């Protein structure tokens, strides 16, 4: 198999080239981190609304299985794309391929992240570097490549999955929170330039969601379902919302958290 990125039909062997007419991928959703729980739920909703899909992730054979299901659910075309957030040197070739394959406006969902346990980061300080690299560095670099493509199309939407943890970095999980805060800042700075070209940006800040990434973790709130979160993201994208909290009540909870004095936040963390 070639190491070069390529769009592969979901019902074809991973070595096969993309063969569908370009029009079959008009108004496509390109999903980075397509194997994540929220992304998979979002893909099913997009398929039910008749959207073409490009599933980007490390295990394209696994994503091809999802792709066949998504075609049955109503997507007119599903392609897979090899994507590894740990390999930023591949981003230029990857976006060049997307530029060729998707000549019309398209949409992007960035839904990849890592969430190690805080005690694991304390035990292995290099893990902190990797969390920041995957959760902030990789999406920032990828957006730098994708933004010119979206601007040249003059439309489409960029949806970025952040976290309420990035609203205020708390002592319990500082590295993860800091990585998401950096991501939020970049998205908010990028949005005005994209908007001038007709590209919408939606930043999503979910609380705990029941996915493999959060399985077995103690959380202050009961995790919401990935399906409900994905539905909220879909609605927000269709309405052109700029910032979305899920569940919606967290908007006001996090406002209160941001206003807390530092000494109170430290006390709550004990």
Question: How far is Cα 84 from Cα 75, in angstroms, rounded to an integer?
Answer: 24
Question: How far is Cα 52 from Cα 26, in angstroms, rounded to an integer?
Answer: 7
- Other CB atoms within 10 A of residue 164 CB: 20
**What DSSP line would sit under 78-94, residue for residue?**
EEEEE--TT-GGGHHHH
Taken in order 186, 172, 35, 88, the sign of the CA dihedral is: positive
Active site annotation includes 245? no
Annotated catalytic residue, options 29, 32, 106, 176: 176
- C-alpha angle 259/233/200, rounded to 5°? 85
Question: How far is Cα 75 from Cα 67, in angstroms, rounded to an integer?
Answer: 9
Instruction: Indicate which residues carry an active-site annotation.
Output: 176
């Amino acid at each position: 198999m070639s190491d070069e990125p390529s769009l592969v039909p979901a019902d074809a062997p991973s070595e096969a080239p993309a063969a569908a007419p370009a029009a079959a991928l008009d108004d496509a959703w390109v999903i980075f981190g397509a194997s994540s729980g929220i992304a998979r739920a979002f893909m099913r909703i997009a398929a039910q609304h008749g959207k073409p899909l490009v599933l980007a992730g490390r295990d394209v054979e696994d994503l091809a299985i999802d792709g066949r299901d998504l075609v049955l659910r109503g997507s007119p075309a599903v392609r897979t794309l090899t994507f590894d957030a740990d390999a930023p040197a591949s981003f230029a070739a990857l976006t060049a391929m997307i530029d060729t394959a998707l000549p019309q406006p398209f949409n992007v969902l960035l839904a990849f992240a890592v969430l190690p346990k805080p005690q694991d980061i304390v035990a292995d300080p290099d893990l902190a570097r990797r969390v920041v690299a995957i959760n902030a560095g990789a999406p920032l670099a990828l957006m730098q490549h994708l933004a010119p493509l979206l601007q040249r199309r003059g439309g489409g939407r960029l949806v970025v999955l952040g976290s309420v943890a990035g609203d205020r970095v708390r002592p319990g999980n500082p590295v993860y929170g800091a990585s998401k805060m950096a991501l939020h800042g970049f998205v908010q700075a990028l949005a005005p330039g994209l908007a001038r070209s007709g590209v919408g940006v939606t930043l999503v800040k979910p609380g705990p969601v029941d996915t493999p990434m959060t399985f077995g973790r103690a959380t202050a709130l009961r995790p919401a379902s990935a399906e409900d979160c994905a539905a909220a993201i879909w609605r927000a994208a269709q309405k052109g919302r700029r910032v979305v909290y899920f569940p919606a009540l967290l908007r006001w909870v996090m406002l209160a958290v941001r206003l807390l004095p530092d000494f109170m936040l430290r006390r709550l963390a004990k």
